[in-house]
């Protein structure tokens, strides 16, 4: 279930918004932030602010979504073992007055000094990689493929990984080179399940996302 508190558009119709997404409204962003802080969701839910929408969703559904996210976290933990970074789940990333709950994120193993305002999450500037496992449903798909892509780029997060069961027979995309002013990533590597994709930069450089994360390639 997703609860929306929409951002009023400054344009004549929603379709007139450019590829960079809705125009920022600082006063509305602050109001949404206050509303988000007041929400006390059940333990199995997460609440995010993404491009002027407050959204609530259930953690760990469907089963395959949770399984893939955990495989990704486990693989990153092994890759990063002994280093200064670690993978996390169920942690909010805060950029400005936006708050996101990626399926997996990388952050310093020692989080001292990296908390966002009010210790409600970790600062986006301390996060070198976020990953989303796309959930079913048109709103979920649009959030991870489009809206979060823009939000993470706008926040300057260096690497965004998308594991997408619903793109053809499954794809993995690794986006790098955020351009914050344009809310986009400059580079993207996109490959079908069964083709290994390596993270090209940052603490997870060289980590390969393949069948150990996605499961076997799907036959068309």
pLDDT in tens, 11-59: 222 333 467 777 778 888 899 999 999 999 888 888 999 988 899 887 7
Q: Are 101 and 90 in contact (CB under 8 A)?
A: yes
191 bridge partner residues: 172
In a domain, 166, yes or no: yes
Residue, of 41 and 198, whose pLDDT is higher: 198
Asked if residue 5 belongs to a domain, the reply is no
- Full domain range(s) for residue 193: 60-214
Q: Residues of the chain with pLDDT > 70: what percent?
A: 91
> Residue 43: inside a domain, yes or no?
no
Length of the chain: 220
Per-residue pLDDT reduced to its tens digit, 69-91: 999 999 999 999 999 999 999 89
pTM: 0.88
* Residue 49 included in any domain: no
Closest to 49 in 3D by CA, of 117, 9, 2, 8: 2
Per-residue model confidence (pLDDT) at position 137: 82
Tell me whether residue 69 is exposed, middle or buried, using C-beta atoms within 10 angstroms of its C-beta: 0 to 12, 13 to 18, 19 or more: buried
Query: What CATH number is associated with residue 187?
Result: 3.90.1570.10
């Amino acid at each position: 279930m997703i609860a929306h508190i929409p951002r009023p558009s400054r344009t004549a119709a929603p379709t007139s918004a450019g590829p960079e997404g809705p125009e920022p409204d600082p006063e509305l962003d602050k109001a949404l932030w206050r509303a988000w802080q007041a929400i006390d969701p059940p333990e199995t839910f997460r609440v995010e602010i993404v491009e002027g929408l407050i959204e609530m969703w259930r953690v760990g559904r469907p089963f395959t979504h949770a399984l893939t996210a955990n495989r990704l976290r486990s693989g990153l933990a092994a890759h990063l073992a002994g280093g200064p970074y670690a993978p996390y789940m169920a942690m909010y990333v805060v950029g400005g007055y936006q708050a996101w709950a990626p399926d997996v994120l990388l952050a310093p193993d020692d989080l001292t000094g990296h908390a966002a305002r009010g210790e409600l999450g970790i600062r986006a500037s301390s996060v070198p990689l976020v990953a989303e496992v796309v959930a079913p449903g048109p709103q979920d798909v649009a959030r991870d493929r489009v809206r979060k892509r823009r939000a993470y780029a706008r926040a300057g997060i260096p690497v965004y990984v998308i594991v997408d069961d619903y793109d053809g027979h499954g794809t993995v995309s690794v986006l790098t080179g955020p351009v914050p002013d344009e809310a986009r990533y400059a580079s993207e590597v996109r490959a079908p399940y069964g083709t290994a994709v390596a993270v090209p930069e940052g603490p997870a450089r060289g980590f390969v996302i393949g069948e150990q994360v996605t499961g076997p390639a799907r036959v068309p």
